[in-house]
Chain A
Amino acid sequence: MDTLREILSPNFLLRNSIYISLLVGLVCPLVGVYLTLRRLIFMGVALPQISSCGVAFAFSLQAWGIIPHLHEREHGLAFIGSTLFTLPTILVLALMARRGGGSVEGRLGTVYVLAGAWSILLLVTNPLGEHGLLDMLKGEIIAISNGDLMWTAGSFGAVVLTLFLFRKEFLLVSFDREMAITLQKNVVFWDALLFLLIGLAISMAVLSVGPLVAFGFLLIPPLTAHLFARNMRQFALLASGIGGATALVGFCLAYRWDYPVGPTDVALLGVVYFLSFAVKKFWGFCSQATGRG
């Protein structure tokens, strides 16, 4: 409790880091809900890696002298690099998945491994990689400026607001595309907007917490919530709640025992998932036993 009180204090030195963790924990699962429902979970693995590659590429442009050094605006540069790589990739992958043919997993696996390899290659050829860039890609969330926090909060806020406003359209085109067409909905537009939001959220999350943690929050809270949800509202709220609570507890544990925050969060998400799975199984067993009795 003392740790929690200290962390939540307005004078806490790393307060921006906890706010960023909470934002990622609350927002990524809302985006992950759609990746889970559209059976695009592997996209959640590949896209953070692509986003990282975009960040590495943007910084390499600086190192190669193609663009000037932006010492105070590196976060913005990273965001542009991440977004420029993530959005076209997500749109192309979604289009290919929609058209069918070939192996979706194969394509995503190829994107993942290529993006990973290129990120490392760009890093080792970049003298800046030894300093801040590696930390950014690892998701070190120690030094977050007020400007970066506001920028992240604003972007996540826009994503959540858009997801909320157009939830019935996103749900309809995701669940029953054919019916959406018969209701005269522009399914290409709604798909593109949804993937744009997913891409934007992933870009911001990767910049804040790194690809591993971003994927963890995209995937595990929705999978956990799916065990218990009986309707879409419960699904979204549960996923976001699990993500937010795990981010807070994970930060407390990492601070208390001096562990890295990102891996602690993901490990904790895993514990929550397996406990939830066990509870669900036990619950089902008890219901069956009561029914037989």
Chain B
Amino acid sequence: MEGITSEAFILGCSAIGAGLAMIAGIGPGIGQGNAAARACEAVGRQPEAQGDITRTMLLGQAVAETTGIYGLVIAIILLFVRPLMTYYVGLGL
């Protein structure tokens, strides 16, 4: 690979890694959609319990979101903190 500096290569790979990390968003999306669908059914069956159902649904969705947030945090770290770059510079190569 001529014409590409090592720093640019590391930055590019970090960007690709950040993009790949965001694939983690698929799981929470499906999970939260499922929870919302079930909550809709429950409200349809029992409209008087809407407050409780909404609260439980939001709580469950927040917990289901955790894995997606982990992916997001890794993507943010790769893009803005650039640990690989720091490691490379620290090696003094």
Q: A and B from one assembly?
A: no
User: B residues engaging A (CB < 8 A)?
Assistant: none
